[in-house]
Chains A and B, each alone.
Chain A
Amino acid sequence: MQSAKAFDVKHYPGFLGVTVLCLFILYTPLIVVMVYSFNDSLSITRWGGFSLRWYVEVFNGVESAKFKSAAWNSLTIALAAGITSTMIAVAAAIGMVRGGQFAGKSVSFALLSMPIMVPEIVTAVATLVFFSAIGFTLGYGSIVVAHIVFCIPFAYLPIAARLQGIESSFEEAAQDLYASRWQAFRHVLLPIMAPGILSGFLLAFIISLDDFIITNFIKGAGVETLPTAIFGAVRQGIKPNIMALSTLMLLFSIAIVTASYLIGRKGGGSGRGEE
């Protein structure tokens, strides 16, 4: 017993203290923002009682029109970028996982996942320079294109992971039963991959929704997404309605990420076709 306990990480000295410290550093700011979003006071540091007035203000206040159009932009851009990048990622995953060995496979993988590693500010500057160079008008369209590009690796990773867990005998069985390659993909591989695809889409969607740096560089004049709108509002001083808006965004993100996780996990066992 003694020695078993000694090797269990939960019994290392200071385990509890370090855990609590990490959780504190990670989550206290978020909790403060959430709590003060319900503060019935203009101050962002003094508690003045519980109220929902800042949530009402988000939807009905002077800035509400700006926020609503920004939210609409954010959602439609995230949808367009999420769907497009997911389609590209599915094709890439099938090529990479089912394509066997081909020349340049590791290079392809590196190129696919590199956007995650490149500092976002570099991508932002590069994209701005490139769009200006080719004369692409900055605005809604340029945001969608840029988002599609940086969402691809985020959509790719869960989809490829899912596909790796699916034995190729499913597609072989489909073709053996007179399905063409397309029918085997459409009726067998795609439904089995679906949880991975959905989870990749949700990840891409949330990454697009949250993006600030790249969007801020290439959005052009007059087009705002929710993150750039919030940034713009904060520059004139933090008002409690920003905290309410941030809390709403946080909850929405948590919901999407949780859904993505649950869907990915639920489908996890069925790829083998056995219990």
Chain B
Amino acid sequence: MNSQVRSSASVAVGIENVEKRYGDFTALMQINLQINDNEFFTLLGPSGCGKTSLLRIIAGFEPTSAGLLFLYGEEIENLPPDKRPINTVFQNYALFPHMSVADNIAFGLKMLGWSSSDIEARVEQMVSLVRLQEFIHRRPAQLSGGQQQRVALARAMAPKPKVLLLDEPLSALDLKLRQQMRAELKQLQRDTGITFVFVTHDQEEALSMSDRIAVMSDGRIQQVGSPMQIYEQPANRFVADFIGDTNLLDAEIVEVAGGGASVRLGTGDVIKSDTPENVQIGDRGFVSLRPESMRLRAAADVGTDAGAVALQGVIEDIVYLGTDRQYTISLASNLRISVREQNVASGSADGLHIGNDVCLQLAERAARFLVN
């Protein structure tokens, strides 16, 4: 990285070669990230991938073992948490149980030495922002999970932090409330213009809220990109497998042409595929095929447009999922693939029964070749 990037006003949090070791265990290796100003940025990964360690390093709760940390171009890795203009929404909220909602929200402002009239005005503003006006004198224990969550948000945002860190804040809520809070969080981020750094293991949460996502596993960043890039152009097998459902099939490049390539699958079929740059004929790897990117046709119906058919197989199992049906198709060479079809009123499932021969048609750019 160069110093130009560090000092740029558009980079809210700059992370350069950050490492974290606990004894022999390396929790984070060589992390490089630039989180932009006014961005909803998500650290996504399975538990133990290092995302929470990274968040705690940004907050200042944990020292780095190596590397540099910048906040709007200023080095901060030696500052204690109370000297960083960064606030955190904790996973368990960590609301102070002995204080009222108002006192919780006012706490940071008092510590910053605001005047009492300013504090009062700001608290009022925050409780109306999170719609908790009637609860201002209650203790946290007298609030529901969703209300506690909003107090935690108001408390963290009251001191007008430059960056807001959110550590799996929705994980304790039930499904309906979680979905509602997603929209609220996104709205809050847009309205306030504060940079959000959001940690989650829930890929749906990440896809639906983020401007950009960093997918992490084993203490490394696997890919950084927009939700669409992460989903449609996964950088490697881990990302393809972790984000959404996919079919991963062994494949070998047999032809490279223009932006794409042809790959041969284990079944012997050759299909068109997207590839990363710089692949060559003979490269081996995987092809990722999303279940919803394929169309199923009963073999009997196809006939005329046989040219569009990529793969052939037999329906082995059908699972009804409400909006969708999920088909398990057995292909040649003992390979299985899962395909998802939307249920529509027109009876598209006609002729698709267990044991029937079917053809699979691939949508444009459905297949993505991955080296590892």
CB contacts (< 8 Å) of B97 on chain A: these are 192, 270-273
A61 at the interface (CB under 8 A from B): no
> Known: A270-B98, A274-B140. Is A169-B159 also a contact (CB below 8 A)?
no
Interface size class of B (residues with CB under 8 A): 20 to 34
Q: Count the A residues whose beta carbon is within 8 Å of the partner chain — how many?
A: 24
A174 at the interface (CB under 8 A from B): yes
Contact of A273 among B61, B81, B92, B107 (CB under 8 A): B92
Task: Kindly identify, within residues 79 to 101 of chain B, every residue whose CB is under 8 Å from any CB belonging to chain A.
Answer: 80-82, 86-88, 90, 92-98
> Known: A177-B87, A177-B108, A177-B111. Is A273-B96 also a contact (CB below 8 A)?
yes
Complex CA distance for A183 and B113, rounded to whole angstroms? 13
Complex CA distance for A96 and B104, rounded to whole angstroms? 28
* Chain B min CB distance to A166 (Å): 10
B59 at the interface (CB under 8 A from A): yes
Whether the pair B159, A178 counts as a contact (CB closer than 8 A) is: yes
* Chain B min CB distance to A174 (Å): 7
Contact of B80 among A169, A175, A183, A273 (CB under 8 A): A175
Complex CA distance for A43 and B105, rounded to whole angstroms? 68
Task: Kindly identify, within residues 157 to 180 of chain A, every residue whose CB is under 8 Å from any CB belonging to chain B.
Answer: 167, 169-170, 172-180
CB contacts (< 8 Å) of B96 on chain A: these are 170, 173-174, 188, 192, 273
Instruction: Give per-residue flags for B320-334: 1 if the beta carbon is below 8 A from chain A beta carbons, else 0.
Output: 000000000000000
* Chain A min CB distance to B62 (Å): 10
B148 at the interface (CB under 8 A from A): yes
Whether the pair B82, A176 counts as a contact (CB closer than 8 A) is: yes
Whether the pair B111, A169 counts as a contact (CB closer than 8 A) is: no
Whether the pair A273, B112 counts as a contact (CB closer than 8 A) is: no
Complex CA distance for A272 and B111, rounded to whole angstroms? 23
B155 at the interface (CB under 8 A from A): yes
CB contacts (< 8 Å) of B81 on chain A: these are 172, 175-176
* Chain B min CB distance to A266 (Å): 12
Contact of B82 among A180, A187, A269, A273 (CB under 8 A): A180
Whether the pair A273, B141 counts as a contact (CB closer than 8 A) is: yes
Instruction: Give per-residue flags for A177-196: 1 if the beta carbon is below 8 A from chain B beta carbons, else 0.
Output: 11110010001100110000
Whether the pair B92, A167 counts as a contact (CB closer than 8 A) is: yes
CB contacts (< 8 Å) of A183 on chain B: these are 111
A8 at the interface (CB under 8 A from B): no
Most A CB contacts (10 A, CB to CB) among B80, B94, B156 go to: B94
* Chain B min CB distance to A162 (Å): 13
Instruction: Give per-residue flags for A6-32: 1 if the beta carbon is below 8 A from chain B beta carbons, else 0.
Output: 000000000000000000000000000
Whether the pair B107, A174 counts as a contact (CB closer than 8 A) is: yes
Whether the pair A177, B107 counts as a contact (CB closer than 8 A) is: yes
> Known: A175-B82, A177-B87. Is A274-B98 also a contact (CB below 8 A)?
no
Whether the pair A177, B155 counts as a contact (CB closer than 8 A) is: yes
Whether the pair A270, B111 counts as a contact (CB closer than 8 A) is: no
Complex CA distance for A173 and B98, rounded to whole angstroms? 14
What are 14 A-B contacts defined by CB distance under 8 Å? Answer: A170-B94, A172-B61, A172-B90, A173-B88, A175-B61, A175-B81, A176-B81, A177-B87, A177-B155, A178-B112, A179-B107, A187-B107, A274-B140, A275-B141
List chain B positions with a Cβ less than 8 A from chain A: 59-61, 80-82, 86-88, 90, 92-98, 107-108, 111-112, 140-141, 145, 148, 155-156, 159
List chain A positions with a Cβ less than 8 A from chain B: 167, 169-170, 172-180, 183, 187-188, 191-192, 269-275
Q: List 19 additional A-B contacts (Cβ < 8 Å) besides A176-B82, A178-B111.
A: A167-B94, A170-B94, A170-B96, A173-B90, A175-B81, A175-B82, A176-B81, A176-B88, A176-B156, A178-B108, A178-B112, A178-B159, A192-B97, A272-B92, A272-B97, A273-B93, A274-B141, A274-B145, A274-B148
